[in-house]
Amino acid sequence: MSHPIFASTSELKLEQRGAVLWLTITREERRNAMSHGVLAGMTQAIAAAQGQRDIRAIVITGGGVKAFCAGADLQSAQAFTTDYSEPHGHLAQLLRVARASYLPLIARVNGACMAGGMGLMAMCDMAVAARHAVFGLPEVKVGLFPAQVLSVLQHLLARRTLNEMCLTGEPITAEQALQVGLVNYVDDDVDAKLQWLLDRLLDKSPAAIRRGLYTLKQVETMAFEESMSFTESQIALFTLTDDAREGQKAFQEKRKPVWVGQ
């Protein structure tokens, strides 16, 4: 099913499956490396999806089974920027839009997740990986460094692990990624595990998830007292939603809630 506001390109497939919007990089011949078109398309799709109440989650993945995303396309003459007079780069803008999303983003890591691809994975709220997937920050091998990616990776990884991955450029396995908290699940059948996770998400209150993601993201950088002041007022707003009233009524009546999403 395709939504009129979501148009696929030769590099990025946009598809709405039920309540889930799928963004698939279709550059298998380039190991799903990011082009400026891919980044701009993802940015626009995630931003547009925020206003669509029939979309409950966004899945980000790569075509095929070899690579999720290999990062910037180093074969391109302008892999990192197209216009040095522009203060915001394409990857930076995508990471900003992902950070502002109140729809859960889930990475389906179907293969190698490298360099800028680690940024796409880390900007997501959850991640499910195929067992053969590998994860790495190999930028030092080509004289660069994972700069923008640090903004979304540094809160996910312990500092020693982050330092080692950045400074050695050597990859880790999916099992290691699971152990260090980079992904939620690793499975031989990545789609079955992803669907299991989506099912556990989609039967919950849309309003609670929308406001909840907002709250989660706001408090991440707050000091304790600032966080307490913010959240003690937020909880009152949660209780005012139709979903909160329905959820409590359903609990009292020992039945499944029927969410209206507001």
Q: What is the pLDDT of residues 137-166, one digit of tens each?
A: 999 999 999 999 999 999 999 999 999 999
β-bridge pairing 67-69 and 12-17? unpaired
Mean per-residue pLDDT, 112-134: 97
Separation of first and last alpha carbons in the chain: 24
Q: What pLDDT does residue 7 have?
A: 85
Please state, in angstroms and rounded to a whole number, the distance separating the CA atoms of residues 121 and 127: 7
Query: Contact, 7 vs 41, CB < 8 A?
Result: no
Mean per-residue pLDDT, 106-132: 98
Query: Contact, 136 vs 118, CB < 8 A?
Result: yes
Q: Is the pLDDT of residue 79 over 80?
A: no
Could you tell me the pLDDT band of residue 86, with boundaries at 50, 70 and 90?
Answer: low
Long-range contacts of 158-162 (CB under 8 A, 24+ apart): none
Q: What pLDDT does residue 92 have?
A: 92
Q: Which runs of E-coded beta strand occur in 52-204?
A: 57-62, 67-69, 105-109, 112-114, 126-130, 134-136, 172-173, 185-187
Domain 12-202: which topology?
2-enoyl-CoA Hydratase; Chain A, domain 1 (3.90.226)
Q: What pLDDT does residue 255 have?
A: 97
pTM: 0.94
Q: What pLDDT does residue 89 have?
A: 78
Mean per-residue pLDDT, 242-255: 96
Q: Is the pLDDT of residue 122 over 70?
A: yes
Query: Contact, 183 vs 129, CB < 8 A?
Result: yes
Q: What pLDDT does residue 74 have?
A: 77
Q: How many CB atoms neighbour CB 56 within 10 A? A: 23
